Amino acid sequence: MTDRHRGEARFEALLAAEEKVEPPDWMPDGYRKTLIRQIAQHAHSEVIGMQPEANWISRAPTLKRKAILMAKVQDEAGHGLYLYSAAETLGITRDEMMRLLHEGKHKYSSIFNYPTLSWADIGCIGWLVDGAAITNQVMLTRCSYGPYARGMVRICKEESFHQRQGFEIMATLSRGTPAQRQMAQDGLDRWWWPSLMMFGPHDSASTHSRQSMEWKIKRVSNDDLRQQFVDMTVPQAEYLGLAIPDPDLRWNAERGHYDFGEIDWDEFWAVVKGNGPMNRERIAHKRAAWEDGAWVREAAAAYAARRRDAVA
Ligand code: FAQ
């Protein structure tokens, strides 16, 4: 038996036994490539996702809300760092991931290409966007790749808190003045469909799902996760007294799930391909931050080199 055959057999055995594949283990090239693509995309989403929220730090309605929002945005930066570290264990450098993002060769979640126009949008990001993110990420705690799965455990705990803070903002606005209730409804009207798009194309149009599920990277399909999110969120909207902007939404007793309308897939693909309302601004801001921070990276690298020399 060659080394490659032994590696392949061990990889298959790990998957079958529900054990984790770890960085030194042999893995198929496609498995490594898929993980780098998905984890890098996920990390970029966390980092770009800081922008729409940071837009409201200086305008949060109270000092307490400002402190909470700052902590949340910092959490997202932390998630990005765990995820970049997880991707690095697969043999790609952080500089390379940044280059690919800045050149438009790496994607990030479509959701962060929409603007945050009011304070209610911060509530909607927590309630809906973090809600959708957790729905997707709970399954990733069972991903077959160890560093990604372990990173997701901590991220999910923090995302749950984020979801609660967003829901609390929405609850406060919904119980407020007519203008505040209107602001909450307007936020829901604009964030509902983009939140459903976060789960990706229909299973029939998903290029990676079948293979990723065979490799136990993904555990639940895009459409099944989207359905879980709708079933969880509709009663929450009812509790808030807000109307979900979908005339086709209704409970289907036979299926035991909510039926809902069709996503505008032309809009989804336009956003994914770089033509959403905020794509250009998001990448321009990200690149400027990377360039402005060059001196910090250089100073940190020089400090690390001096310490190495001192130890040697
Ligand atoms: N946006 O074959 P599939 C967050 C692409 S974190 C852009 O189904 P896959 C935290 C997909 O990449 C949110 N592109 O792909 C937070 C592929 O293109 P490619 C991010 C999308 O990978 C909250 C093509 O379409 N979460 O929100 C999208 O099997 C608040 C075909 O799709 C993650 O990244 C999309 N929505 O399934 C931060 C979770 N959907 O790569 C701040 C990890 C699909 O071949 C504030 N990722 N595409 O060029 C995943 O679970 C999966 O990658 C999916 C997509 C489910 C997103």
Distance 212 CA to ligand 1 centre (A): 13
Residue ranges of E strands in 97-164: none
Q: Whose CA is nearest to atom 26 of ligand 1?
A: 42
Q: Write the DSSP symbol of residue 251.
A: E
**In the predicted model, what is the mean pLDDT of residues 59-86?**
97
pTM check: above 0.85: yes
User: Given ligand 1 and candidates 42, 74, 221, 282, which is best to mutate, with the most ligand atoms within 8 Å of its CB?
Assistant: 42
**In the predicted model, what is the mean pLDDT of residues 96-119?**
98
Q: Is the pLDDT of residue 170 over 80?
A: yes
Closest CA to 152 of 7, 39, 309: 39
Task: Supply the Cα-derived Rg of the chain in whole angstroms.
Answer: 21
Distance 200 CA to ligand 1 centre (A): 6
Mean of per-residue pLDDT scores for the chain: 97
Read off the tokens for 48.
Answer: 């770009």
CB-ligand 1 contact for 163 (6 Å cutoff): no
Confidence of residue 237 (pLDDT cuts 50, 70, 90): very high
CB-ligand 1 contact for 286 (6 Å cutoff): no
Pair 142, 219: CB distance under 8 Å: yes
